[in-house]
Structure 1
């Protein structure tokens, strides 16, 4: 079984404008009908039109399953714990989740290019520049999100182990984490077919369980809740901005939406691709984050696992914990799947399966650290606010590129890495994209306002965290301005 591609195979593929497919090493490697038990044959290579299939509506369940989420409950509760009233928290939840529109918009490039988002972004940063950007925005952040979601599920799983009489110890905690991680990695290894087939039933099952949980929560809600000390003036605006950053960080992190749409026929309507992606992610995110905020009006959500299990019948607790684990597997399955493809795009000549295993090991190690060494809730709020320094500008550049190119991408050209190729630009770097990321990231960092780090810009406006609007606005403007310059040659080889 060939795990590493030979130099001659990879070089030949590059010369022809099509990268080596990095097909599944445990199968024949030959493309065939996708099933939940067949290893995906394709990696980052171009999906031929004859192998495209499906309808845009299938994207609804693909995005709904990971967003019927325990972590959404935690984030919603965190908004109230920050001092917001219930009404204020609900407004933040709706507005922050509108950023799923960006995730949905960039998904339309998948059917157009027939390849992954991590390859499409070569148009924005150049062949070499893209590798640098992907290491940070596509791979390390993916590992951090794996750890964050695994941590949420592991907290619930470890608590369930204690209910069954197991003494909670580092060994038990580590075992729970490794088992959850292994299930996730298995799903990501099987790839697109397994995700497409399994997420429909999963989204239905998870919705039913979380509706029951929501009923327990809503039955105890304090609808007249007001924070002990009402926030006013600068403190209120700072809390609103910080909460918005936390909620919006989730959709801004999903630059992998083209990966999940790339198997759709190129003739699929862009509005349908974007619409079903948006609805699948937005609706459950709003509903269950709002339920989390409501829970904090009557429960001590500083320990969400203990608080939620305390209002459930004993027989339902294991059902809830299993649902939390399944949600985490579905959420991280998408992340690990795309992170494996990203690792291939960076240039490691390994199969998609081994790329998934590498990201899985790194994410597991980070999870072990966050559970055994660090505080979970601190991990959640700090990470979600800080990652927007990078994910916001990256999303803005992607959106602007699609607008400027009118979503015209040639997947085979994007896979051509030869010097002088259409996306080689200036020694392998597209300075429009690189400068937009750097300046956008600096603008975002200046306006970060967290307990971990407060930028001078945020200090100047009373601690108001404006990292998302600042970073995205600057990145989009710089990319548009520099990209339009004839010297930049942004559309050389793939014109709009």
Structure 2
């Protein structure tokens, strides 16, 4: 396989630092940022701790910044780079995780869009019920499917305009939250546990933001202009994602002082809508729902590509049918059976975070330990003879399993999920840290000649 089929052609490397920043900014200035703020508050932290948790959680975008910088240096996208760390067959592990990640977030976006419409029904004085929720799901799901007929360029233009409108209205809403916030209640809130409250709050935010986005970071980094300084790629990626996320999470923390029931609400957007003047709430929720539709379409198409890279090749109609069923069944369960959006969302983030924290830790350790002089092209081709990089594969399995052993939630209880590990997401940190330890052992064994790592 020739070099150009692995590396992004020079003619396509057109992203400037400013454009890179905007891409990440637009991808993270969504209404889910307020939900993260509500999740942080659910850990019973003081106002200072909650804001600090939002700040540290947003800094998880340092990981995508690092991955993007590697992508720019090599001119190669994420999953081609990942073949070096796991082997061509072993690389199906992160490919499968990427598919699960995209389908899961697609379902979250559909649920979010449905709940936004349910809240908007109040404008015409329609109370929430089983029927109205079902109607909202059909409407939003139908818009997603119909939008699939639009071209990528059209969707991109729609998303650009919606991002600007959403951002401007968000500034106004944050001003309202600042003015209406119950500052005495916020500042007098007692401090929570740093180990059982603060760290789990940070880990759940990191799992859904920086850690999750790491899988796409080199896909943008590889298209940055070669003349761009690596530091510019790193910081524009990091700040482009971290800044809007932190601001929105801080807004969610402020909102919780106005609406204390936010963190426990089955529909957090309903609570948020009640805290806003009706005129701006309608505009804001319509723009937020509209902004989710292009994201859903992109995720649908990307999910099909990920299936193909795993080795499961299906036609576009078959792929659309499979993913549509999954995306409908998950919202049906969350909206009509469980009825607990935030609870199920946290479970999803916890499981996803454990798998992805170990993946990104191994990816970065492999790059730093074995590929500082660059990636060998023969390791990144689909027909590479290096099918399995056992150092990376075994490290991922051990780290991921260890993370689950220290995790418990409504659907899983690990044998070591006691004490400070009970009822929180610290397993995400355990997974990432253990992956680093495993890779240090792999490095030591490589030096002693006990294991060979393909370079």
Equivalent positions of 1:338-417 (< 5 A) are 338-349=302-313, 359=323, 362-374=326-338, 375-404=340-369, 405-406=371-372, 408-409=374-375, 413-414=378-379, 416-417=381-382
> How far does residue 297 in structure 1 lie from its aligned partner after superposition?
0.9
> How far does residue 459 in structure 1 lie from its aligned partner after superposition?
0.5
The reply to whether residue 430 of structure 1 matches residue 389 of structure 2 is yes
> How far does residue 197 in structure 1 lie from its aligned partner after superposition?
5.6
Uncovered stretches (5+) of structure 1, i.e. residues with no partner: 1-14, 20-44
Is 1:147–1:364's contact at 8 Å kept on the other side of the alignment?
A: yes
> How far does residue 359 in structure 1 lie from its aligned partner after superposition?
4.4
Equivalent positions of 1:144-293 (< 5 A) are 144-164=104-124, 169=131, 171-182=134-145, 185=148, 190=152, 200-225=160-185, 230=190, 237-250=195-208, 251-254=210-213, 255-293=215-253
Q: 1:407 to 1:322 in 2, by over 3 A?
A: farther
Is 1:246–1:385's contact at 8 Å kept on the other side of the alignment?
A: yes
Equivalent positions of 1:113-152 (< 5 A) are 113-135=74-96, 137-152=97-112
Is 1:104–1:278's contact at 8 Å kept on the other side of the alignment?
A: yes
Q: 1:55 to 1:231 in 2, by over 3 A?
A: closer
Q: List per-residue Cα deviations over 1:449-469 (Å, max 9, x = no partner).
A: 545545343414463643233
TM-score under structure 2 normalisation? 0.85
> How far does residue 119 in structure 1 lie from its aligned partner after superposition?
2.2
> How far does residue 47 in structure 1 lie from its aligned partner after superposition?
2.7
Give the secondary structure class of the aligned counterpart of 1:127.
coil
Q: List per-residue Cα deviations over 1:367-407 (Å, max 9, x = no partner).
A: 33322333212112222223211011011112212323127
Give the length in aligned residue pairs: 440
The reply to whether residue 79 of structure 1 matches residue 37 of structure 2 is no
Q: List per-residue Cα deviations over 1:217-255 (Å, max 9, x = no partner).
A: 2221011225998465xx563122321222111211111
Match for residue 455 of structure 1 among 388, 392, 414 = 414
Distance 2:373 2:349 in 1: 30
Give the secondary structure class of the aligned counterpart of 1:292.
helix
Distance 2:389 2:251 in 1: 44
Distance 2:381 2:198 in 1: 45
Is 2:75–2:222's contact at 8 Å kept on the other side of the alignment?
A: yes
Is 2:408–2:417's contact at 8 Å kept on the other side of the alignment?
A: yes
The reply to whether residue 107 of structure 1 matches residue 107 of structure 2 is no
Q: List per-residue Cα deviations over 1:42-70 (Å, max 9, x = no partner).
A: xxx64322232231221111111121121
Give the secondary structure class of the aligned counterpart of 2:418.
helix
> How far does residue 271 in structure 1 lie from its aligned partner after superposition?
1.5
Equivalent residue, structure 2, for 1:93: 54
Q: Give the CA RMSD over aligned residues.
A: 3.1
Is 1:431–1:488's contact at 8 Å kept on the other side of the alignment?
A: no
Distance 2:135 2:125 in 1: 12
Equivalent residue, structure 2, for 1:36: none
Q: 1:465 to 1:371 in 2, by over 3 A?
A: closer
Q: 1:66 to 1:53 in 2, by over 3 A?
A: closer
Match for residue 285 of structure 2 among 306, 318, 321 = 321
Distance 2:436 2:33 in 1: 29
Uncovered stretches (5+) of structure 2, i.e. residues with no partner: none
Q: 1:236 to 1:275 in 2, by over 3 A?
A: closer
Is 2:159–2:291's contact at 8 Å kept on the other side of the alignment?
A: no
Match for residue 308 of structure 1 among 272, 285, 291 = 272
Distance 1:184 1:118 in 2: 28
Is 1:69–1:324's contact at 8 Å kept on the other side of the alignment?
A: yes
Distance 1:243 1:52 in 2: 37
Distance 1:60 1:332 in 2: 21
Equivalent residue, structure 2, for 1:33: none
Distance 1:78 1:279 in 2: 22
Higher helix proportion, which one? 2
Match for residue 69 of structure 1 among 14, 26, 30 = 30
Is 1:129–1:434's contact at 8 Å kept on the other side of the alignment?
A: yes
Distance 1:414 1:392 in 2: 23
Distance 1:353 1:119 in 2: 27
Q: List per-residue Cα deviations over 1:82-127 (Å, max 9, x = no partner).
A: 3222221111111111111001110123334444312221111111
Give the secondary structure class of the aligned counterpart of 1:224.
helix
